[in-house]
Structure 1
Amino acid sequence: PGHAAARAVLARVWIADGRRDAARQLLREGREQGAITAFGRRLLAGLLADEGRSTEAFEVLSASGAEAIDSPDHHALYATLLQDLGRHDEAAASWRNVLQLDSHRADAWLGMGLSFEALGRKEQAHTAYRAALRVGGLEEAPAQWAASRVEALAP
Structure 2
Amino acid sequence: MSLLNDALRDLEKREHEPGGPDKAIPAGLTQPASGANRLWPIAAVALIALLAMAGGAWFWLAGGEGAAPQVANAPQPVTRPEPQFDPEPVVKAVETVPEPQPVVQADPEAASESAPEPEPEPEPEPESSVASGGDAESEPAPEQASVRELTPRERDRRLAGRLEDLLNSGQAVQARERLRAHLVLDSDAPRSREVMALYHLRRGNPARAREWLPDTVVRLYPSLRLLRARIARSEQGRGEALAWLEQDPPAAERYPDYHTMLAALYQQTGQSAEAASIWAGLLETDDTQARWWAGLGIALESQGRSESARSAFAQAARLPGLPEQLRLYVEQRLSGEQG
**Shared fold (TM-score, shorter chain, > 0.5):** yes
Instruction: Name the CA shift for 1:58/1:105 in 2 (closer, same or farther; >3 Å).
Output: same
Q: Structure 2 length as normaliser, TM-score?
A: 0.41
* TM-superposed deviation, 1:119: 0.1
**Runs of 5+ in structure 1 lacking a partner?**
none
* TM-superposed deviation, 1:75: 1.1
Of 75, 83, 104 in structure 1, the residue corresponding to residue 259 of structure 2 is 75
* TM-superposed deviation, 1:69: 6.3
Residue-by-residue CA offset, 1:74-117 (whole Å, 9 max, x unaligned): 11111011111111111100001111222222211111111100
Q: Which residue of 2 aligns with 1:100?
A: 284
Which is helix-richer, 1 or 2?
Answer: 1
Of 188, 198, 214 in structure 2, the residue corresponding to residue 3 of structure 1 is 188
Judge conservation of contact 1:58–1:78 (CA < 8 Å) in 2: yes
Judge conservation of contact 2:252–2:281 (CA < 8 Å) in 1: no
Q: Which residue of 2 aligns with 1:38?
A: 222
Judge conservation of contact 2:288–2:319 (CA < 8 Å) in 1: yes
- Name the CA distance, whole Å, in 1 between partners of 2:296 and 2:256: 14
Instruction: Name the CA shift for 1:19/1:137 in 2 (closer, same or farther; >3 Å).
Output: same
One-letter amino acid of the structure 1 residue matched with residue 285 of structure 2: L
| Identity of matched residues, % | 30
Instruction: Name the CA shift for 1:51/1:108 in 2 (closer, same or farther; >3 Å).
Output: farther
Higher relative contact order (CA 8 A, sep 6+): 1
* TM-superposed deviation, 1:26: 2.7
Instruction: Name the CA shift for 1:51/1:102 in 2 (closer, same or farther; >3 Å).
Output: farther
Considering only aligned residues, what root-mean-square deviation do their CA atoms show, in Å?
2.1
- Name the CA distance, whole Å, in 2 between partners of 1:138 and 1:37: 30
Instruction: Name the CA shift for 1:103/1:143 in 2 (closer, same or farther; >3 Å).
Output: same
- Name the CA distance, whole Å, in 2 between partners of 1:26 and 1:20: 10
Residue-by-residue CA offset, 1:24-53 (whole Å, 9 max, x unaligned): 3432x2x2x235510011112123234571
Q: Structure 1 length as normaliser, TM-score?
A: 0.84
| 1:6-155 matches, cutoff 5 A | 6-27=192-213, 29=214, 31=215, 33-35=216-218, 36-51=220-235, 53-66=237-250, 70-152=254-336
Instruction: Name the CA shift for 1:64/1:102 in 2 (closer, same or farther; >3 Å).
Output: same
One-letter amino acid of the structure 2 residue matched with residue 152 of structure 1: G
Give the length in aligned residue pairs: 150
- Name the CA distance, whole Å, in 2 between partners of 1:69 and 1:78: 14
Judge conservation of contact 1:79–1:92 (CA < 8 Å) in 2: yes
Judge conservation of contact 1:11–1:24 (CA < 8 Å) in 2: yes
Larger-gyration structure (1/2) = 2
- Name the CA distance, whole Å, in 1 between partners of 2:291 and 2:251: 23
